[in-house]
Amino acid sequence: MKNKYKEEVLVLFGKKVKELRLKKKLSLRALEKECDIDNSYISKIEHGKANIGFHTIVELAGAFKVHPKELFNFEHEWKDEAFM
């Protein structure tokens, strides 16, 4: 699959993280304390600029106390061109 599409999903994921963070009224530095992830790294995640690992995903979900799948709760469909 083209990298372009993975990065699109990464951006959607990042927006979800930001959405959850703002819903909890946390600053980047406040969230950093909840999940032990550097605030500048969280910023990169929210902008889809970091291809984060599974542990990091779970750590974020834990900070929000939500099921990890909640972070993937956005609209997305596979288009044929993603695989060409």
Partner DNA sequence: ATTAATGCGGTAAAATATTACCGCAATTTT
Partner DNA sequence: AAAATTGCGGTAATATTTTACCGCATTAAT
- In the complex, the residues that contact DNA under the rule CB under 7 A are 27-30, 36-41, 43-44, 46-47, 49-53, 55-56
Contact 80, 24 (CB under 8 A): no
Cβ neighbours of 71 (radius 10 Å):
20
Nearer to a copy of itself, 28 or 49 (CB): 49
Instruction: Give yes or no for residue 10 binding a copy of itself (CB under 8 A).
Output: yes
Helix (H) or strand (E) holding 8: helix 3-23
Q: Is 73 among the residues that bind a copy of itself (CB under 8 A)?
A: yes
Which of 51, 73 has the CB closer to DNA? 51
Count Cβ atoms within 10 A of the Cβ of residue 84 and give its class: 0-12 exposed, 13-18 middle, 19 or more buried: exposed
Q: How far apart (Å, rounded) are the C-alpha atoms in residues 39 and 76?
A: 27
Q: Which of residues 13-72 bind a copy of itself (CB under 8 A)?
A: 13, 35, 51-55, 57-59, 62, 65, 67-69, 72
Which residue lies nearer to DNA by CB, 14 or 77? 14
